[in-house]
Amino acid sequence: MEIWTTYDLADFLMFSPRVYFRLIERYNQAVWPLQVAFVAGGLLALVLVMKRNRAIVLPALAAAWVFCAWEFLWTRYAVINWPASYAAAAFLLQAGLLIVNIRAVGAPAPRAPRYYGGIGLMFFGLIAYPLLAALAGRSLASAEIFGLMPDPTATTTLGALMALSPKVPWLLLPVPLLWCAFSGLTLWALEDAGAWAPFASVIATLALLLAGKR
């Protein structure tokens, strides 16, 4: 038992920061110019959330989760981090849940704190996340884009769910929340300055859930 106390998070990593962020850079290069299409699609989804059009928003979000699952988690990330293959399966599950729960995200708008907080969380995932690479001292080539990378996709989805429904869509929250927590711990172990972002997404979502009850 005492042996485990000698370990820290970094000891469980299967890759170095250089390998991880180089993987993202090469991924971004390989899929260019899909970044432009996904950001535009995400902004359109934001507008549709404001118009309460869940019938289009949730399938669009599901497509983003499927793309992340296959193109990043399974095809690339799992090569250097085998647990990512299980994450890919969870992402596919989330995509399916988004589709089958379209009616669970109700038509009436939630209370103002949750609605505007959800919109703000979507902005964070769509606009702020790509800038975190530069703020963390990394190349913009390693920027994380909604629809292409898991973190901004999970954050944007959490924001949409908060803004779309007065009732809490409990089945749709565990996967994005758990992913953000896992990613935050990974970035923390990598000693990346952007590790706070996925944790912030979790905290913001929990705060909005509490705010919606008042």
pLDDT, tens digit, 9 for 90 and up, residues 192-205: 999 999 999 999 99
Q: For residues 161-165, give the mean pLDDT.
A: 89
Name the pLDDT band for 118 (thresholds 50, 70, 90).
Answer: very high
Helix axes of 34-50 and 54-67: crossing angle, nearest 10 degrees: 150
Name the pLDDT band for 14 (thresholds 50, 70, 90).
Answer: low
Name the pLDDT band for 102 (thresholds 50, 70, 90).
Answer: confident
HSE-CB at 175 with a 13 A cutoff on CA atoms is: 24
Contact 186, 178 (CB under 8 A): no
**DSSP 8-state symbol, 104:** G
Please name the residue that has the structure tokens 């989330």. 94
- Please state, in angstroms and rounded to a whole number, the distance separating the CA atoms of residues 3 and 19: 28
- Please state, in angstroms and rounded to a whole number, the distance separating the CA atoms of residues 26 and 139: 12
| CA distances for 194 relative to 12, 126, 136, 142, 162, angstroms | 19, 16, 6, 12, 23
pLDDT, tens digit, 9 for 90 and up, residues 119-162: 999 999 999 999 999 988 888 899 999 999 999 999 999 999 99
Task: Kindly list the domain boundaries of the chain, sorted by start residue.
Answer: 14-213
- pTM score of the predicted model: 0.91
CB environment 120-135: b (16+ within 10 A), e (fewer): bbbbbbbbebbebbee
pLDDT, tens digit, 9 for 90 and up, residues 27-80: 999 999 999 999 999 999 999 998 877 778 999 999 999 999 999 999 999 999
Contact 114, 162 (CB under 8 A): yes
